A and B are shown apart, each in its own frame.
Chain A
Amino acid sequence: AQSVAQPEDQVNVAEGNPLTVKCTYSVSGNPYLFWYVQYPNRGLQFLLKYITGDNLVKGSYGFEAEFNKSQTSFHLKKPSALVSDSALYFCAVAGTYKYIFGTGTRLKVLA
């Protein structure tokens, strides 16, 4: 069965520092992996995805993610965090006509 895990419930980082939000996956075959962000009282917004190709994927708002097949990870990164990045982040893996989401990581960027 396909699954994703987000081992951290919350990540705190100072504004201007690099941030990493972790995600590991378990799939048979090639994974299709996604990151979404959810701001309070809003729906999820797509940030980026890995389908194939370069292991470093660039997405919206300066975010990027690194696909690591040997470690089955797809960590979300940003070189310099902003207070406005504070939100709930979800990793997801695509199945057939459905997406399996991780439990979410709350990112708090401190001014």
Chain B
Amino acid sequence: DTAVSQTPKYLVTQMGNDKSIKCEQNLGHDTMYWYKQDSKKFLKIMFSYNNKELIINETVPNRFSPKSPDKAHLNLHINSLELGDSAVYFCASSFGQNSYEQYFGPGTRLTVT
């Protein structure tokens, strides 16, 4: 069983479109995250949710709207896509205390043309 899964794996779309990425974890974790990895492989936190509540929003444009319907799911909706949104987006989960390691999904490669 996949611990943290993301769909889709690849997403190619045009500027101005709206798209969503879904994430699910079956590890029983209470905290989930979205990260963006750019073309230089830099990894930056975007959002974190604990027990379905938004905890961290790292100055992400409000075109990005995460939603956590329950503790096992964290989806990311992106409006009005821009060229600069092209990146790999990773979902991750962990227990909330910061002594616990994170488990990452396989990533969603978003290409905006």
Within 8 A of B (CB), among A75-105: 88, 90, 94-101, 103-104
Residue of A nearest to B101 (CB): A46
- The reply to whether A104 and B50 contact each other, CB–CB distance below 8 Å, is no
Q: Which residues of B contact A46 (CB under 8 A)?
A: 101-103
Q: A43-B90, A51-B99 are in contact. Are A104 and B104 (CB under 8 A)?
A: no
Residue of B nearest to A94 (CB): B98
- The reply to whether A32 and B102 contact each other, CB–CB distance below 8 Å, is no
- Interface size class for chain B? 20 to 34
Q: CB within 8 A of A97: which of B56, B103, B105?
A: B56
Report how far A98 CA is from B56 CA in the complex, Å. Answer: 7
Q: A88-B41, A104-B41 are in contact. Are A98 and B48 (CB under 8 A)?
A: yes
- The reply to whether B106 and A43 contact each other, CB–CB distance below 8 Å, is yes
Interface size on A, residues (CB 8 A): 24
Report how far A51 CA is from B55 CA in the complex, Å. Answer: 23
- The reply to whether B48 and A43 contact each other, CB–CB distance below 8 Å, is no
Asked whether B45 is an interface residue with its Cβ less than 8 Å from the other chain, the reply is: yes
Report how far A36 CA is from B43 CA in the complex, Å. Answer: 12
Residue of B nearest to A34 (CB): B101
Residue of B nearest to A52 (CB): B99
- The reply to whether B99 and A32 contact each other, CB–CB distance below 8 Å, is yes
Scoring B44, B92, B104 by chain A CB atoms within 10 A of each residue's CB, the highest score goes to: B104
- The reply to whether B98 and A96 contact each other, CB–CB distance below 8 Å, is yes
Q: A43-B106, A45-B104, A90-B43 are in contact. Are A98 and B33 (CB under 8 A)?
A: yes
Report how far A56 CA is from B4 CA in the complex, Å. Answer: 29
Q: CB within 8 A of B98: which of A45, A88, A90, A97?
A: A97
Residue of B nearest to A47 (CB): B101
Within 8 A of B (CB), among A13-36: 32, 34, 36
